[in-house]
């Protein structure tokens, strides 16, 4: 399957759908669908949350299209993603990542197909927090370099469970959000450097977390943390951290910016920079 | 830019703020007492009946009574000197088939009314947090 074209086709179809309707289709509250992660699932920027993309409540459907870019000292990551969600229960996503090795030269890329299922609870109203189970299937399309540095396979599955909760009037009478995610993965740098390695080729559980506060209904700031495996002996892999600000001027559009600290990547140390993401949602 | 330091600072801020989140002024005062709550609910009821997503729920409603009951209810919830005299939430919403989206539309109508009334975001959040537990008594009844 050629995912680049299917992603573009879905994105175009959704854009067309968005432009022909004046109002958001789904009945969810502002920002409750989160934004689009670099892997296409709804969440923050680097951590998938339990939220469903877009604004689909029971019996409704929704979705998103997004363009994102992270630029750190020696690398640039571009992501095109689209998602579809239904019944406040299911989410399906596709993402195309291009990782530009500006210093080393060349480009890595991979496709990610994601599915998420809300098991129980609600972000705001239920007694239980929102709990979702997700999978991501990743296909690395430039496996030459990853294989040369010890990666064991060019495609693999990640699975995760995420718990998200918002408090309408938390500290300082502001609305707060917290998310915790546990992921089973063998991915090196999310899969851009393949899966498994010469040091370890078994699944590892990693922890990911996010906390944010809404300064106003349409403006949130927060932090994310993503633990990562370290499977390849040629270079140490670090955890990722971001400090983000997300603005939801309407339900249809959101803009996310972040400072990102991706640590050491492929032997190049202390990769820091910015992240910018635009999302259209309905 | 040291994000690790930022993380530590944010954690401390988060922990400290839990112990310092009690409000100096009562919500009743922040909503403008009885007169403010009455004005708020006038705007709220107008927003509800003008919202095409949910106006059909109010076709048979006595709007003056709805306004009065909302005002009693918000006043009592906010700590004011009122007693809510209406039916409980389950009784008053049974058979109306209010969906999650309908409930959210109502929240948005209230938020717009609070914006128009000039109620600060902190007081808005405190009122919404008091109303949120009614979600399961109202939706899908």
Residue A158 C-alpha, separation from nearest chain B C-alpha, in angstroms: 27
Flag whether B2 is in a domain. Answer: no
A36 touching B (Cβ < 8 Å)? no
Q: Predicted ipTM?
A: 0.86
**226-245 in A: which are within 8 Å (CB) of B?**
241-243
Query: Quick check: A60 and B14 CB within 8 A?
Result: no
pLDDT for the residue A195: 97
Any domain includes B103: yes
Query: Chain B residues with CB inside 8 Å of A57's CB?
Result: 99-101, 104
Range of the domain at B40: 23-138
Are residues A35 and A277 in contact, defined by beta-carbon separation less than 8 angstroms?
A: yes
Closest by CA to A179, choosing from A167, A202, A191, A162, is A162
In this structure, is residue B10 part of a structural domain?
Answer: no
| A104-121 burial code (b ≥16 CB/10 A, e <16) | eeeebbbbbbbebebeeb
* Alpha-carbon gap: B109 to the closest alpha carbon of chain A (Å): 11
Rounded Cα distance, A185 and A229, in Å: 8
Q: Could you tell me if B24 lies within 8 Å of chain A, comparing CB atoms?
A: no
Give the residue ranges of chain A where pLDDT is below 50.
Answer: 1, 15-24
Q: Is residue B4 part of a domain?
A: no
How do the domains of chain A map onto residue ranges?
Answer: 3-281
- The nearest alpha carbon in chain A to B7 belongs to A223
Query: How many domains does chain B divide into?
Result: 1
The annotation status of B136 as a binding-site residue, yes or no, is yes
Q: Assess A60–B contact: CB distance below 8 Å, yes or no.
A: yes
DSSP states of A212-253 = EEEEETTEEEEEEEE------TTS----EEEEEEEE-SSSSE
**Closest chain A residue to the Cα of B99, Cα to Cα:** A58
What pLDDT does residue B2 have? 61
Per-residue pLDDT, A104: 82
Q: What is the DSSP string of chain B?
A: --HHHHHHHHHHHHHHHHHT---SS-HHHHTTHHHHHHHHHHHHHHHHHH-TTTGGGGTT--HHHHHHHHHHHHHHHTT-S----S--HHHHHTTS---HHHHHHHHHHHHHHHHHTT--HHHHHHHHHHHGGGHHHHTT-
* Token pair listed for A69: 């870019």
DSSP A48: B
- Select from A172, A175, A225 the Cβ nearest to the Cβ of B21: A172
Q: What phi and psi values does residue A240 have, to the nearest 5 degrees?
A: -110, 150
DSSP tag of A124: S
What are A183-205's pLDDT values in tens digits?
999 999 999 999 999 999 999 99
Among residues A198, A200, A166, A203, the alpha carbon closest in space to that of A183 is found at A203
The 10s digit of each residue's pLDDT in B101-139 is 999 999 999 999 999 999 999 999 999 999 999 999 999
Task: Name the closest residue on chain A to residue B115, using Cα atoms.
Answer: A217
Eight-state DSSP code of residue A56: -
A27 inside 8 A of chain B by CB: yes
A211 contacts B126? CB cut-off 8 A? no
Q: Is residue B56 part of a domain?
A: yes
**CATH code assigned at B82:** 1.10.490.10
Is residue B38, in this structure, part of any structural domain at all? yes
B1, B12, B26: best mutation site toward chain A, by most A Cβ within 10 Å?
B1
Distance, in Å, from the CA atom of A12 to the CA atom of A106, rounded to the nearest integer, reads 28
Residue B95 pLDDT exceeds 70:
yes
Using a CB–CB cutoff of 8 Å, tell me whether B60 touches chain A.
no
Q: How much is the pLDDT for A103?
A: 83
- For residue B93, say whether it is annotated as part of any ligand binding site: yes
Helix axis angle, B121-131 to B63-77, nearest 10° = 100
Q: What is the pLDDT of residue A9?
A: 54
Kindly report the CATH number that applies to the domain delimited by A3-281.
Answer: 2.40.160.40
Backbone angles phi, psi at B91, to 5 degrees: -60, -45
Per residue in B59-90, pLDDT (tens digit) is: 999 999 999 999 999 999 999 999 999 999 99
Work out how many CB contacts closer than 8 A connect A with B: 82
Given this model, what pLDDT does residue B13 score? 59
Could you tell me if A134 and A140 are in contact, meaning their C-beta atoms sit under 8 angstroms apart? no
B5 has a pLDDT exceeding 80? no
Residues in B touching A272 (Cβ below 8 Å): 1, 3
Q: How far A189 CA sits from the closest chain B CA (Å)?
A: 19
């Amino acid at each position: 399957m050629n995912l680049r074209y299917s992603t573009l086709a879905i994105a175009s179809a959704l854009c067309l759908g968005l432009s022909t309707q004046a109002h958001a289709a789904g009945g969810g509250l502002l920002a409750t669908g989160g934004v689009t992660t670099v892997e296409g699932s709804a969440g923050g920027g680097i951590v998938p949350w339990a939220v469903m993309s877009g604004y689909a409540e029971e019996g409704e459907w929704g979705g998103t299209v997004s363009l994102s870019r992270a630029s750190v000292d020696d690398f640039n990551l571009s992501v095109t993603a689209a998602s579809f969600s239904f019944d406040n229960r299911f989410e399906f996503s596709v993402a195309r990542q291009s990782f530009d090795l500006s210093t080393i030269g060349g480009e890595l890329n991979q496709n990610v197909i994601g599915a998420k299922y809300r098991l129980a609870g609600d972000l705001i109203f239920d007694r239980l927090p929102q709990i979702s189970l997700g999978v991501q299937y990743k296909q690395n399309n430039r496996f030459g370099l990853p294989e040369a540095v010890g990666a064991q396979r060019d495609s693999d599955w990640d699975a995760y469970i995420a718990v998200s909760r918002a408090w309408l009037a938390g500290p300082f009478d502001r609305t707060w959000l917290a998310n915790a995610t546990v992921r089973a993965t063998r991915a090196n740098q999310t899969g851009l450097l393949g899966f498994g390695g010469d040091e370890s080729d078994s699944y590892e559980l990693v922890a990911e977390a996010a906390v944010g506060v809404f300064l106003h209904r349409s403006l949130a700031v927060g932090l994310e943390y993503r633990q990562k495996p370290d499977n390849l002996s040629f270079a140490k892999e670090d955890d990722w951290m971001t400090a983000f600000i997300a603005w939801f001027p309407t339900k249809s559009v959101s803009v996310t910016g972040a400072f990102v600290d991706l640590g050491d990547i492929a032997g190049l140390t202390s990769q820091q920079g910015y992240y910018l993401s635009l999302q259209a949602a309905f | 830019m040291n994000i690790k330091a930022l993380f530590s600072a944010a954690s401390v801020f988060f922990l400290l703020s839990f112990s310092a989140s009690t409000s100096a002024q009562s919500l009743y005062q922040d909503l403008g007492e009885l007169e403010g709550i009455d004005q708020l609910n006038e705007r709220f009821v107008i927003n509800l009946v003008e919202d095409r997503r949910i106006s059909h729920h109010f076709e048979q409603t006595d709007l003056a009574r709805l306004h009065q009951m909302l005002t009693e209810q918000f006043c009592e919830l906010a700590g004011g000197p009122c007693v809510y005299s209406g039916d409980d939430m389950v009784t008053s919403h049974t058979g109306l088939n209010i969906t999650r989206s309908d409930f959210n539309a109502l929240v948005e109508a209230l938020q717009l009314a609070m914006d128009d009334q000039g109620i600060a975001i902190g007081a808005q959040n405190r009122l919404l947090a008091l109303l949120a537990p009614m979600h399961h008594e109202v939706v899908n009844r």
